[in-house]
């Protein structure tokens, strides 16, 4: 095979995957702008400050069940004890102060009465009206009691800077009384599709044209990371139009993403526009699919020139744009996990020296799971992306995969894409 016959052979040396990610980590820096966000809108945002617990959570030692609080010192743990009942404590009530050696009727979440350190569940007790209760033996000291600060200690760090807050993290802030959170400003993104062959979805079909699928796919992918997202539409195969659109978008955006126009053809103008602006920092990767990807900077705005085929677009968006966007948002660089599974397929790579990504899914084989591969490898097959639940990664030095060999599986769920199989 000659170089001319290999669509991945180009005169410039292509960057290895590890080299590309190292360069991107240098190019991507967290945004410095911050804003205050209400607690009900903080989930999904990246915290910009250290939040210290002003008090313990829970603030008081309290009952974990409905029942009777009593002092363990006056309890026969073998035979049980009959206690006089004094007082009633419900969640939100002030501290109860019963007489020594008395039990208090108590409900879940109520402050433990003074002198009481153990709670018996009401269904285990025998009450004699409202005056006394028999608590059977078998309880340990401190049973059914939640200590003050057992969830969060006063003065401890609740949320650290660079944390993308999940609903449970927001709950922790709210439990400490926080009504707002200081967050990194969300990156402003502009996405363009390029090519005279593209039609906007919903427009009449024209022979020789294809509908733009990359724009909607990228919009859906990055919506989970930022709401400051704009789709700029379809750019024509015109260098001046591309150059102007990129320059104008860079004035108001932190990240530009284009699809198409990233190769060597006469009608591939995005890379040419970045080169003319002396803004191209990375081009040509030793990966498949996704080789003709470029990255540059226009002023302070990063620009990704992705390939045009949908599979290559998604592979590059997940592996390179996704971690850059998270880094801009204030998070550390995050590599997606590579989960080790045996292969349920066989392949022979055409050449060493490039990393390849196949579409696949997990399938149970006996008591364990193995990775199945989509039969066809074309980078224009959206059907392969729909059938898959992740990417199968085969490193540069691996020539052949046989059934049972270990492979790395990158689940789509790592990027917030739900798996219809429930795995």
pLDDT tens digits, residue range 81-111? 999 999 999 999 999 888 888 999 999 999 9
Is residue 105 included in any domain, yes or no?
yes
Q: CATH number of the domain that 135 lies in?
A: 2.170.190.11
Which residues have C-beta within 8 Å of that of residue 122, sequence separation ≥ 6? 65, 66, 67, 68
Same domain? 321 vs 408: no
Q: What is the mean pLDDT of residues 175-201?
A: 96
- Tell me what percent of the residues of the chain surpass a pLDDT of 70: 94
User: What is the per-residue pLDDT across 9-43, written as a single tens digit (0 to 9) for each?
Assistant: 444 578 999 999 999 999 999 999 999 999 999 99
Range of the structural domain that residue 44 is part of: 34-57+150-184
Is residue 215 included in any domain, yes or no?
yes
Same domain? 27 vs 92: no
Is residue 210 included in any domain, yes or no?
yes
Strands 390-394 and 355-365: antiparallel
- Is the pLDDT at 330 greater than 50? The verdict is yes
Is residue 4 included in any domain, yes or no?
no
Q: What is the mean pLDDT of residues 191-195?
A: 95
Is residue 423 included in any domain, yes or no?
no
Same domain? 221 vs 310: yes
Same domain? 122 vs 51: no
Is residue 422 included in any domain, yes or no?
no
Give the residue from 117, 146, 175 where a domain finishes: 146
- Is the pLDDT at 250 greater than 80? The verdict is yes
Asked if 382 and 374 touch (Cβ cutoff 8 Å), the reply is: no
Same domain? 308 vs 223: yes
CA–CA distances in Å: residue 215 to residues 220, 234, 368: 9, 9, 38
Is residue 1 included in any domain, yes or no?
no
Give the model's confidence band at 276: pLDDT under 50 very low, under 70 low, under 90 confident, else very high.
confident
Same domain? 248 vs 351: no
User: What is the per-residue pLDDT across 202-243, written as a single tens digit (0 to 9) for each?
Assistant: 999 999 999 999 999 999 999 888 889 999 999 999 989 999
Q: CATH number of the domain that 397 lies in?
A: 2.40.340.10
Prediction pTM value: 0.87
User: What is the per-residue pLDDT across 168-187, written as a single tens digit (0 to 9) for each?
Assistant: 999 999 999 999 999 999 99
Give the model's confidence band at 423: pLDDT under 50 very low, under 70 low, under 90 confident, else very high.
low
**SS3 assignment, position 46:** strand
**SS3 assignment, position 359:** strand
Same domain? 306 vs 316: yes
> Could you count the other beta carbons within 10 Å of the beta carbon of residue 75?
21
Mean pLDDT of the chain: 92
Same domain? 166 vs 231: no
DSSP 60: S
Would you state the pLDDT for residue 259? 95
- Is the pLDDT at 2 greater than 60? The verdict is no
- Is the pLDDT at 1 greater than 50? The verdict is no
Give the count of domains, the chain: 4
Would you state the pLDDT for residue 129? 84
Would you state the pLDDT for residue 273? 81
DSSP 111: B
Written as one string, the DSSP assignment of 149-171 is TSSB-TTSEEE-TTPBPPHHHHH
Same domain? 78 vs 199: no
Same domain? 287 vs 210: yes
Is residue 46 included in any domain, yes or no?
yes
Same domain? 225 vs 195: yes
Q: CATH number of the domain that 212 lies in?
A: 3.40.980.10
Same domain? 388 vs 313: no
């Amino acid at each position: 095979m000659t170089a001319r016959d290999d669509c991945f052979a180009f005169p410039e040396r292509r960057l290895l995957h590890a080299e590309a990610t190292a360069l991107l980590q240098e190019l991507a820096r967290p945004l410095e702008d911050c804003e205050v966000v209400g607690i009900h809108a903080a989930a999904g945002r990246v915290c910009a400050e250290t939040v210290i617990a002003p008090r313990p959570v829970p603030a008081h030692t309290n009952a974990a069940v409905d029942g009777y609080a009593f002092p363990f010192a006056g309890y026969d743990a073998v035979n049980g004890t009959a206690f006089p009942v004094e007082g009633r404590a419900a969640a939100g009530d002030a501290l109860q102060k019963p007489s020594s050696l008395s039990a208090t009727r108590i409900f879940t979440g109520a402050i433990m009465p003074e002198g009481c350190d153990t709670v018996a569940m009401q269904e285990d007790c025998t009450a004699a009206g409202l005056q006394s209760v028999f608590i059977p033996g078998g309880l340990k000291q401190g049973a059914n009691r939640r200590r003050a600060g057992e969830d969060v200690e006063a003065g401890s760090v609740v949320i650290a800077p660079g944390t993308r807050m999940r609903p449970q993290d927001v709950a922790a802030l709210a439990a400490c009384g926080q009504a707002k959170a200081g967050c990194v400003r969300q990156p402003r993104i502009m996405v363009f599709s390029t090519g005279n062959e593209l039609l906007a979805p919903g427009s009449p079909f024209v022979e020789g044209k294809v509908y733009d699928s990359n724009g909607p796919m990228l919009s859906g992918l990055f919506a989970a990371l930022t709401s400051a997202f704009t789709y700029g539409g379809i750019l024509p195969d015109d260098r001046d139009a591309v150059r102007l659109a990129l320059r104008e978008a860079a004035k108001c955006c932190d990240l530009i993403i284009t699809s198409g126009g990233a190769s060597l053809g006469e009608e591939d103008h995005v890379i040419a526009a970045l080169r003319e602006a002396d803004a191209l920092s990375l081009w040509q990767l030793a990966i498949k699919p996704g080789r003709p990807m470029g990255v540059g900077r226009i002023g302070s705005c990063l620009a990704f020139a992705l390939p045009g085929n949908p599979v290559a677009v998604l592979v590059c968006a997940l592996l390179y744009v996704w971690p850059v966007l998270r880094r801009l948002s204030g998070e550390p660089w995050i590599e997606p996990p590579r989960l080790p599974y045996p292969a349920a397929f066989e392949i022979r790579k055409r050449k060493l020296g490039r990393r390849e990504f196949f579409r696949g899914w997990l399938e149970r084989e006996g008591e364990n799971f193995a990775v199945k591969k989509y039969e066809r490898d074309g980078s224009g097959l959206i059907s392969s992306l729909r059938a898959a639940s992740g990417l199968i990664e085969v490193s540069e030095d691996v020539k052949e995969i046989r059934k049972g060999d270990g492979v790395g599986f990158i689940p789509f769920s790592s990027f917030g894409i739900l798996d219809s199989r429930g795995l």
